[in-house]
Structure 1
Amino acid sequence: MAPADMLRTLREGALHISKRLVLSYVIDWILIIATAAVGYAFGTIEPNHNPFSLTDLSISFPYAVHETVSGAVLVLAGLVAPAAVILIVTLLFIPGRTVDKNTPLSLIWKRKLWEWNAGWMGLGVALAGVYMATQGLKNLYGKPRPDMLDRCKPDLSNIAAYAVSGLGGSLEGAPTVVTWGICQDKSDKLRMDGFVSFPSGHSSFSWAGLTYLTLWLCAKFTIAFPYLSYRPLNHDLLPAPTTSSRYSSSNGKDTSSSSRISIRDQGAAPPVYLLLIAIIPLGTAAFISASRWFDHRHHGFDIFFGSAMGVVFAWIGFRLYQLPVRRGAGWSWRSRSRNHAFFRAIEFPDYDYDYDSVEQGWAASRSSAQGKKLGTADTSGHRNKQNSSDVERGGSTDQDLHLFVSSPSDGAAEQPKGSPPREEV
């Protein structure tokens, strides 16, 4: 498609998008960016400096001048790469080959844009949230890094002046706990970065972005374990019509419509190359977090806790915007209803529930009941009934603004032949 045609298509589709709804998602993006900005602000604040012992082996490792994974590489691996993959997959594979060839291009591009937005919003929530939480915890705990003493260059000639605890002054061999004032090198390398070991920022950020990418890819390409319910209603399933001889009885008659197949045929493992695609992001996150150990930047528990934080925030971001991996068929959740773009009242089940649809549905029901009392024919009830399922799913288009709900007193009313059964409340 030419760029000019694409822009015209997007412009035509944008005419049918609620400005109120768009504004609500613009505010969502502003808040996500603001959350990341708060995390950055936390990183500029001088952290707490916990007292330490000069004989503590866990903080006596050498300082590595060059990190295996720098901050720039971390951003590329945890943010830029997942965002680029989501964009490319969305443009190339969504909405898929099941779309009718006569579907308007404006509708296709609206779906692409929404899936793109949902994919990036989940990633943004995961990364911004874990970044702010990690930076805040670093400042609060003020835990010395494993290479802190090498950064510190302590003044060993004046230990007693900085001692705050320990029995080193009265008991031979006992440790003495001192403040960071004993350090001769008080540059930002120590003051700002020497006491931020817990939790590991590289671990939390990489696991948040790359775990989210793995979950997103698994959802889009249905990369999951074959599933079988623990308590299936039937231990066997009806097979599809077939002419295979194994479904024929001994008298030569085809019994495919009534024969059954084993429950083992209810699922199958995905191709191995898809498994590799899903594992690569996780392997990358594992390497990044492991590098913090052999670079002597973090203790083991710092790395483990940071990784766990990243996984949790990735799951939160994924579940907010994407359907479950196994049952979602690769789709994200739909957008909020324009009526609930900013707020959902307590009587509505979800943010995609259309208030106008329900109100007009009740109005149509009342009009129908009054018409029957006056002996008039109800000619709109059946059309409303056909649209009720769409409205219950939160449809917000103009043709979905009716919900037929019959009164219990109307249950015995005569219905035209072929009309669907009416719902009662």
Structure 2
Amino acid sequence: MADIQLGAHTIRSHGIKIARFHMHDWIILVLLGIIDIILNVIEPFHRFVGRDMLTDLRYPLKSNTIPFWAVPMIGIVLPVFITLGIYFKKQNVYDLHNAVLGLLFSVLITGVLTDAIKDAVGRPRPDFFWRCFPDGKDVYDNITTNVICHGDKSVIREGHKSFPSGHSSWSFAGLGFFAWYLAGKIKAFDRRGHVAKLCIVFLPILCASLIAISRVDDYWHHWQDVFAGGFLGLVVASFCYLQFFPPPYDTDGMFALYLPCWFQYSISWGPHAYFFMLADSQPQNGSTSIAADNLNVIPTMIEPMYIQSEGQNHLALRDSAPTLDEMEAGVDRRMQ
């Protein structure tokens, strides 16, 4: 069924109302950002690294193929720009607000979890040897054989933050959420078998995977770090998306809860808050007179008719559309 225009709800008309309703969410978002900054500043746990443990930690010290600043540009800014484009087409500030809020929550929750685990685990990076001994002259404690590093302190501190990968978790958090969002917008799971839609959904996941793989190629992370970071980001992204939007494969679930049966259709493009707003705008008696003026919809004309079957009268509904008339005429002929 074709999309039904549900009216325009713009930033000017509903923006202040939505911002006030979600004020506490934005406050929590700011607190998460502050916590993440603190976790990046504090000293991580310095795990014991003995002489015999450096065999797998002698990979060369390289610069990042994808710098740190590029990750939020790809995983946050780019999805927000595309979401803005969808807003200008749909004129639905509920969708824009919840998409941006959900994306930021996905990334910041993932960031706090990732950096907290990094500081607690303190796993050495694959290039730890050259971070610890930049001149190649290794020094160890005579009793414990633990390394005695003489490199730059900030470089050594970063050398103890291998698990999990922050690039991987942030990328999968932002782009994973965006993949869910795209799946809902293009109705990827409408059961019509359009594989091209899946290619669009998997494109952000592919981009996140390439970012994660670069961390192994640059010898900044072990493969376990990348796998754990990507899994963490994707799980958090899924929870955050489902917090604000119905599942993309739900063809009529949320809408059926709030609107009459004659007005159900695929609603995976809309956030929960939008349909709660529509439900609140309905008459309290729950009648089917949802204002067509509010929804810009003219419902199909329904006419009552009686069908004689086995000596009993049954009330049926007849649609004025010619296709349904022909079907009903066929039903009558079979019953005669």
Same fold, TM-score > 0.5, yes or no: yes
Cα distance in 1 between the residues matched to 2:138 and 2:96: 61
**Distance of 1:353 and 1:137 partners within structure 2:** 42
Task: Report the 3-state secondary structure (helix = DSSP H, G, I; strand = E; otherwise coil) of the residue aligned with 1:55.
Answer: helix
Instruction: Tell me, in whole angstroms, the C-alpha distance in 2 between the residues paired with 1:118 and 1:126.
Output: 12
Q: Does 1:148 align with 2:128?
A: yes
Q: Give the AA of the match of 1:127.
A: V
Matches within 5 A, 1:26-425: 26-56=23-53, 57-64=55-62, 66-92=63-89, 94=90, 109=91, 112-153=92-133, 159-161=140-142, 163-164=143-144, 176=145, 178-179=146-147, 182-190=148-156, 192-224=157-189, 267-270=191-194, 272=196, 274-327=197-250, 328-334=267-273, 385-387=285-287
How much is the aligned-residue C-alpha RMSD, in angstroms?
A: 2.8
Shift, 1:27, TM fit:
2.3
Equivalent position amino acid for 2:234 in 1: V
Tell me by how many angstroms 1:312 deviates.
0.6
Which 5+ residue runs of structure 1 have no aligned equivalent?
1-8, 95-108, 165-175, 227-266, 339-351, 358-382, 391-425
State TM-score, norm by structure 2: 0.71
Shift of 1:156: 5.9
Q: Is the 8 A contact 1:40 1:135 kept in 2?
A: no
Helix, strand or coil at the partner of 2:231: helix
Partner of 1:256: none
- TM-score normalised by L of structure 1: 0.56
What CA distance in whole angstroms lies between the structure 2 residues aligned with 1:221 and 1:314? 19
How big is the shift at 1:300?
A: 1.1
- Is residue 202–residue 288 contact of structure 1 (8 Å, CA) maintained in 2? yes
CA distance in structure 1 between the aligned counterparts of 2:139 and 2:220, rounded to whole angstroms: 28
- Is this contact kept in 2: 1:74–1:202, CA < 8 A? yes
User: How far apart are residue 48 of structure 1 and its match?
Assistant: 1.0
Cα drift, residue 389 of structure 1: 10
In 2, the alpha carbon distance for the partners of 1:10 and 1:144 equals 48
Q: Distance in 1 between matches of 2:28 and 2:161?
A: 26
Change (3 A) 1:334 1:24: closer
Counterpart CA distance in 2 for 1:317 and 1:220 is: 16
Partner deviation per Cα, 1:275-298 (whole Å, 9 max, x = no partner): 332121111100000000010001
Q: Which amino acid in 2 is paired with 1:200? A: S
Contact 1:153–1:183 (CA under 8 A) maintained in structure 2:
yes
SS at match of 1:80: helix
Structure number having the greater helix percentage: 2
Which of the two has higher C-alpha Rg?
1
Equivalent position SS for 1:209: helix
Give 5+ residue unaligned stretches, structure 2: 1-9, 251-266, 291-336
Which residue is 2:331 aligned to? none
Q: CA deviation at 1:206?
A: 0.2
One-letter code of the match for 1:331? G
Kindly indicate whether the alpha-carbon contact (under 8 Å) linking 1:54 and 1:149 is maintained by their aligned counterparts in 2: no
**Residue by residue, what CA displacement relative to the aligned partner does 1:242-272 show, whole Å, maximum 9, x if unpaired?**
xxxxxxxxxxxxxxxxxxxxxxxxx421252
- Asked if 1 retains the 8 angstrom alpha-carbon contact of 2:176 and 2:237, the reply is yes
Contact 2:125 2:161 in 1 (8 A): yes
> Which residue matches 1:240?
none
The alpha carbon displacement at 1:33 in A equals 2.4
Whole-Å separation in 2 of the counterparts to 1:10 and 1:297: 43
Alignment partner of 1:71: what SS? coil
TM-superposed CA distance for 1:335, in Å, is: 5.6
Distance 1:55 1:203 in 2: 29
Q: Deviations over 1:142-200 (max 9, x none)?
A: 11000000111189675344x43xxxxxxxxxxx4x04xx111143111x211000110
Number of residues of Structure 1 aligned to a counterpart in Structure 2: 262
